[in-house]
């Protein structure tokens, strides 16, 4: 897909962060946008930003992507009035980290419901109609660096992000016959509201040691706008994997090409995090 003008594009997670930045960037390319997010106020603000510069937002609707019926209602409304879409961007997500002894069933369920079932619901409700329309298209799923490598305390989050990466790899080949390309975005550190809202179970985020780690993390972040441009570039070049930073790309390369070194680094990282956690535990 080289030209975006007048293409129908659904973007989840459009109220902030990568979703908002991508919606704005796609709107400037002349795409006909259908936006959703659970945050209704943020969603309205995004739509207004796009309309202010002449972009086309045909529909906005606030709902929870983990609820299949709500996604289906959104899809049915679009298909009835506008026909099939051309681009589906599953960007919405949330994050919870914690050691396995701290994670509750609710934490695991939230990660799977939002970060895995959410994109699956989008795929279920939009891709079959794209196939029937026979116009080709593009599916973009946002996974994570945690969908590629074994970051400490990311078990629940990674379960969802590895899951959507695996499903995307299968769909990459399943959808080729229909001229529908698939791209998986694996962000590392990105300067979005999620970096401040992420729940680290059992850890006091106001502790000075945690604040130091957050400062180090913030120094490595890229902007949502940069990620949006990387996504668009990935679509144009039909890239399967899109990395948002070179550090994640390098770490993934080490995992595949120099596993003993990767293994050593991950063990060291796990040890350091657990040592830090001991003095930042919530009492």
Our CA angle for 155, 278, 150, nearest 5°, is: 25
CA separation for the pair 134, 124 (Å, rounded): 17
Q: Which of 157, 173, 252, 262 is catalytic?
A: 157
> How many other C-beta atoms are found inside a 10 Å radius of the C-beta of residue 277?
21
State both tokens at 72.
């289906």
Contact 90, 138 (CB under 8 A): no
Contact 32, 58 (CB under 8 A): yes
User: Is-catalytic flag, 157?
Assistant: yes
Please report where in the chains the tokens 């961007």 appear, as a residue. 89
Contact 180, 139 (CB under 8 A): yes
CA separation for the pair 168, 181 (Å, rounded): 10
Q: What are the beta bridge partners of residue 9?
A: 33, 87
Phi-psi region of 34 (alpha: psi -120 to 50; beta: other; left: phi over 0): beta
Cα dihedral sign for 129, 130, 134, 135?
A: positive
Contact 22, 15 (CB under 8 A): no
Q: Which residues are CB-neighbours of 174 under 8 A, at least 6 positions away?
A: none
Q: What are the beta bridge partners of residue 33?
A: 9, 57
CA separation for the pair 240, 68 (Å, rounded): 26
State both tokens at 48.
């207004």
Q: Which residues are catalytic?
A: 157
């Amino acid at each position: 897909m080289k030209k975006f003008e007048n293409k129908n594009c659904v973007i989840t997670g459009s109220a902030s962060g990568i979703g908002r930045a991508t919606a704005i960037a796609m709107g400037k390319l002349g795409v006909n946008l259908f936006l959703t997010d659970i945050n209704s106020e943020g969603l309205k603000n995004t739509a207004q930003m796009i309309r202010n510069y002449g972009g086309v937002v045909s529909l906005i609707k606030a709902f929870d992507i983990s609820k299949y019926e709500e996604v289906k209602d959104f899809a049915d409304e679009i298909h009835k009035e506008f026909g099939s879409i051309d681009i589906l961007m599953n960007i919405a997500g949330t994050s919870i980290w914690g050691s396995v002894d701290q994670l509750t069933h609710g934490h695991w369920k939230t990660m799977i419901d939002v970060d895995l079932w959410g994109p699956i619901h989008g795929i279920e409700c939009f891709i079959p109609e794209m196939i029937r329309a026979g116009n080709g298209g593009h599916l973009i799923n946002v996974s994570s660096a945690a969908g590629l490598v074994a970051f400490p305390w990311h078990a629940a989050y990674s379960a969802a992000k590895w899951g959507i990466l695996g499903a995307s790899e299968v769909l990459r080949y399943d959808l080729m016959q229909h001229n529908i390309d698939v791209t998986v975005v694996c962000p590392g550190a990105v300067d979005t509201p999620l970096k401040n809202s992420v729940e680290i179970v059992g850890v006091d985020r106001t502790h000075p040691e945690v604040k130091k780690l957050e400062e180090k993390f913030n120094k490595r972040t890229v902007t949502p706008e940069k990620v949006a441009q990387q996504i668009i570039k990935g679509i144009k070049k039909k890239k399967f994997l899109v990395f948002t930073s070179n550090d994640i790309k390098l770490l993934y390369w080490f995992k595949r090409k120099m596993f003993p070194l990767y293994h050593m680094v991950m063990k060291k990282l796990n040890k350091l995090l657990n040592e830090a956690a001991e003095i930042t535990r919530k009492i």
